[in-house]
Structure 1
């Protein structure tokens, strides 16, 4: 069957300042190795991105249900964006875990600082359901917002 319904996600692209540093971070975080690194550029790639010119070093990391593309722009020279979690168009990437405490320990052992201590959703948080779901937030070395979730109720996929 032809998939034209936007019901599957292939990858998320994350622009990074230093590809080698990002590869090390995401390989440590996920326990997976990148499948390849390469370079792409030229007028056709620039055109599809809406740019005048482009040269991108990139790496692909395959997870069970989504791929992560790490992109280091060489041309045009990149600028740094900074988003707070509440800003419109800010996004984050969330990793699903079974045990929030084990995952937090792994992050801390790797030297990754959490934005705040993890919480487990309770009725007092205002949710109608999903109690018992645990979340924690942190950033990658370039400030990309990341989350871990141990989902329950409506947050859990079938």
Structure 2
């Protein structure tokens, strides 16, 4: 059996620059790298004919968040809910969830104000500009 370790957590977006700005401004993530990938091996690997990808890797305190914009763009998906099979989300922690919530720009969609779960973890969810879910927690 091969040993496995996490390399990145990927999120497909329609507008890379808008998504990068959101994650920089709202979460303070730094861009570690930007690059494009194309060619037959890439399009075969992602199973999208003639695909090109524009990528941004963001540093989330040692975890790499990969944002990718594809050309051609796929069909829009309906907004996900957390209880749908196959639903995904990023989980990012902050030191003070209430301060984070209070400092959110008005145009950031939230599912609720901060909540304390039975386990004692404080959580809330936001949607990025693409509608992707991000869990923000104070562990």
Common fold, TM-score beyond 0.5? yes
Separation in 2, partners of 1:99, 1:14? 25
Task: List per-residue Cα deviations over 1:18-42 (Å, max 9, x = no partner).
Answer: 1111111011122133122221111
2:102 corresponds to 1:105 = yes
2:6 corresponds to 1:9 = yes
Match of residue 35 from structure 2 = 38
Match of residue 148 from structure 1 = 136
Match of residue 75 from structure 2 = 79
Bigger Rg, structure 1 or 2: 1
Task: Please state how far the C-alpha of 1:89 moved relative to its aligned partner.
Answer: 0.5
For these two proteins, the number of residue pairs brought into alignment is 138
More off after superposition, 139-148 vs 32-41: 32-41
- Which one has the bigger strand percentage? 2
Instruction: Confirm or deny: 8 A CA contact 2:38 2:53 kept in the other structure.
Output: yes
2:54 corresponds to 1:22 = no
Runs of 5+ in structure 1 lacking a partner? 123-129, 152-158
Runs of 5+ in structure 2 lacking a partner? none
2:113 pairs, out of 82, 102, 117, with: 117
**RMSD of the TM alignment (CA)?**
1.8
- Which one has the bigger helix percentage? 1
Q: Tell me: higher relative CO, structure 1 or 2? Use CA pairs within 8 A at least 6 residues apart.
A: 2
Match of residue 125 from structure 1 = none
Task: Please state how far the C-alpha of 1:110 moved relative to its aligned partner.
Answer: 6.1
Separation in 2, partners of 1:10, 1:148? 21
